Amino acid sequence: MSRWDSDFVYAFKRSPVACVSAGVVCLLVLAAVFAPWIAPLNPFDMAALNLMNGFTPPLAPNAFTGETFLLGTDDQGRDLFSAILYGLRVSLFVGFAAVALAMFLGVFLGLLAGYRGGWVDTLIMRMADVQVTFPSILIAMLIYGVAQGLIAPDNRGDLAIGILILSIGLSEWVQFARTVRGTTLVEKEKEYVQAARLMGLNPLAVMVRHILPNVTTPVLVIATITLALAIIAEATLSFLGVGAPPTEPSLGTLIRIGQDFLFSGEWWILLFPALTLLLLALSVNLLGDWLRDTLNPRLK
């Protein structure tokens, strides 16, 4: 185990791409976590906003109030730097939670399909096949629409983030299930698994204690890649106006708002959130690619 560790660390140190992208991801995650301490204002507190600060360019004083903002303000007078930090928080939270949901679901269904075989396998994997033929953003929108229909309008604001996590999580489980099923099919025929079954362990224990440890590495790799997808999916849904509400903006919501002011020359409202999203998605993706190449060349 320790040899694997040092190999991994060695490979990491040798790869500038991995170092830089891991650094950027860490920085952005820390910025999101400590947003309340870093951000000069709380952009979710609508009462603290001064509308007259609206459309202030970066580092230039506002014409009415004389206040200056690092990255300027948006149409509601919200400090963009603070809004981006808090938006990053929403985006990352939705991303991590959706990946956790997809991972849990995918690993469980994959184990079940591989271990049980027969009609259970057929049912789960055909479901996966069907789902994979649709773009995942379409599935996410479908689930989002159904969830919106089921929930009373008054609760929608509070549950918007939950629905977002659910719809992205449910649209990304297939990759996990397929990988886990493949490994399970190989592992379940091995002697140690047969031995465990002969000892009379129940199927759940065999699956979780004996087979699952074999799939942790590929699952972690897929989780990282899926994280980038989930962040983009959240931004896309919010950009389309069905994700995070405008009073609690994620990066996608900020980009949607900024898009309206592109022609009128207020470029900063769009540019800074978009750059942040680009940086985040790119570094998570690069990190995922590197992990895949290093840990599990078979997935290539």
Partner 1 sequence: MRLKVLAAALSVSCLIGAPLVQAETLRWARSGDSLTLDPHAQNEGPTHALAHQLYEPLLQRDMAGQIIPGLATSWRALDDNPNVWRFQLRAGVKFHGGEDFTADDVVFSVKRAKLETSDMKGLLNSVVDVRKVDDLTVDIETAGANPLLINNLTNLFMMDQGWTESNGSAVPQDFANGQTTYAAANANGTGAYQLVSRTPDERTVLKANPNYWGVGQFPLEVSEIIYTPIQSAATRVAALLSGEVDFVQDIPVQDLGRVDATSDLKVVTAAQNRVIFFGMNQGKADLDSDNVQGKNPFADVRVRQAMNMAINRDAIKQVVMRGQSDPTGVIMPPFVNGWTPALNEIPAGDMAKAKSLMADAGYGDGFQVTLNCPNDRYINDEAICQATVGMLGQIGIKVNLDAKPKAQHFPLIQNKTTEFYMLGWGVPTFDSHYIFNFLVHTSEGDRGPWNNTGYSNADVDQMIVSLESETDLAARDATIGKIWNQVQQDVVYLPVHNQVLNWSMKSDINFDVQPEDQPHFKFLSFN
Nearer to partner 1, 12 or 44 (CB): 44
Total residues belonging to the chain: 300
Query: Which of 45, 122, 194, 208 touches partner 1 by CB under 8 A?
Result: 45
199 binds partner 1, rule: CB under 8 A:
no
User: Side chain identity at 160, as an amino acid letter?
Assistant: A
Contact 234, 99 (CB under 8 A): no
Query: Which of 117, 261, 274, 295 touches partner 1 by CB under 8 A?
Result: 261
- Could you give the CA distance from residue 53 to residue 55 in angstroms, rounded to a whole number? 7
153 binds partner 1, rule: CB under 8 A:
yes
149 binds partner 1, rule: CB under 8 A:
no
Site for partner 1 in 47-66 (CB under 8 A): 47-49, 51-52, 54-55, 64
Site for partner 1 in 67-96 (CB under 8 A): 75-77
| Chain mean position to CA 281 | 9
What secondary structure does DSSP assign to 9-69, as a single string?
HHHHHH-HHHHHHHHHHHHHHHHHHTHHHH-SS-TT-GGG--GGGTTPPTTS--TTT----
Nearer to partner 1, 99 or 147 (CB): 147
Site for partner 1 in 154-183 (CB under 8 A): 154, 156-157
Size of the site for partner 1 (CB under 8 A): 29
Minimum distance from CB of 32 to partner 1 (Å)? Answer: 23
Nearer to partner 1, 139 or 254 (CB): 254
Token representation of residue 264: 């009128």
Residue 5 neighbours by CB under 8 Å, 6+ apart: none
Choices 93-101, 108-116, 123-131, 153-161 (CB under 8 A): range interacting with partner 1: 153-161
5 binds partner 1, rule: CB under 8 A:
no
Q: How many other C-beta atoms lie within 10 A of the C-beta of residue 210?
A: 18
Closest CA to 240 of 169, 147, 146, 164: 164
With H, G, I as helix, E, B as strand and everything else as coil, classify residue 208: helix
Query: Which of 34, 260, 275, 278 touches partner 1 by CB under 8 A?
Result: 260
Return phi, psi of residue 37, to 5°: -90, -30
Nearer to partner 1, 213 or 246 (CB): 246
46 binds partner 1, rule: CB under 8 A:
yes
Residues that bind partner 1 (CB under 8 A): 45-49, 51-52, 54-55, 64, 75-77, 153-154, 156-157, 241, 245-247, 259-266
